[in-house]
Amino acid sequence: MFTGIIEAVGRLRAINTSGDGARITIDTASLDLSDVKLGDSIATNGVCLTVTALDSASFSADVSSETIKRSGLAHYQVGDSVNLEKAMLPTTRFGGHMVSGHVDGVSEIKAIEHKGNSIEYWLSMPAELAPYIAEKGSITIDGTSLTVNSLTTEQFRLTIVPHTTQETIISKYQVGTKVNVEVDLIARYIERLLTQQSPEKQVDSGVTHALLARNGFIK
């Protein structure tokens, strides 16, 4: 589990493809690896990766074909900058929102506008993810916990403050940049519960329009 608060910006040192998957190595820059061991998880641009090799300044991880298909990893090149966050601890301050590191899809930067000291980004909204993206709701972009400030039927807007720009790879975004998207975790589970409940398990609560009206909840 992660919070979407980026701890460091690393650099993609190597990409070695094999079959349908790949093995990548990340230079971790200022990320403290002293408490990381083999098998731990590090979110890399929002993708939860398992550490398979490690030294004081880098780690390697294997990437499955499923991860490549669902994320922007297929477009990454050696030298690209990536957001990094270690898995949260029970004592971690919860500064962002619940992030699983399981990317739901890829979005594209459609427009960038400077507004005062902030920058507004308009991103495409994939049709399959649209039901989970809500105004003032949380969303994860390349591993960064952000707030959706407005949306249309096909796009949504993010307003990025200077601190976030300085501490993440957002400053490198351009129109056309592809980014990893993870929608709100709770929204996904609520949908699953509502749509998978079988008729024989559904319970009649007895709450009707008439009952609510009699008790003054509605007029």
What gap in Å lies between CA 12 and CA 152, rounded to an integer? 34
- Maximum pairwise Cα distance, the chain: 68
Q: Is the Cα torsion angle 126, 132, 135, 137 positive or negative in sign?
A: negative
136 to 47, 150, 156: CA distances (angstroms): 23, 7, 11
Provide the terminal-to-terminal Cα distance of the chain, rounded to the nearest Å: 44
Each residue of 80-116: pLDDT tens digit? 999 999 999 888 788 889 999 999 999 999 999 999 9
8-86 and 105-196, same CATH topology: yes
pLDDT, tens only, 17-75: 887 889 999 999 999 999 999 999 999 999 999 999 999 999 999 999 999 989 999 88
Domain boundaries, the chain: 8-86, 105-196
Tens digits of residue pLDDT in 139-170 = 999 999 999 999 999 999 999 999 999 999 99
Domain 105-196 architecture: Beta Barrel (2.40)
Name the nearest CA neighbour of 24 among 70, 80, 86: 80
Query: Predicted confidence band at 193 (pLDDT cuts at 50, 70, 90)?
Result: confident
Q: Which fold has domain 8-86?
A: Elongation Factor Tu (Ef-tu); domain 3 (2.40.30)
R_g over Cα of the chain: 20
- Residues 6+ positions from 98 with CB-CB distance below 8 Å: 1, 3, 185, 186
Q: What's the whole-model pTM score?
A: 0.86
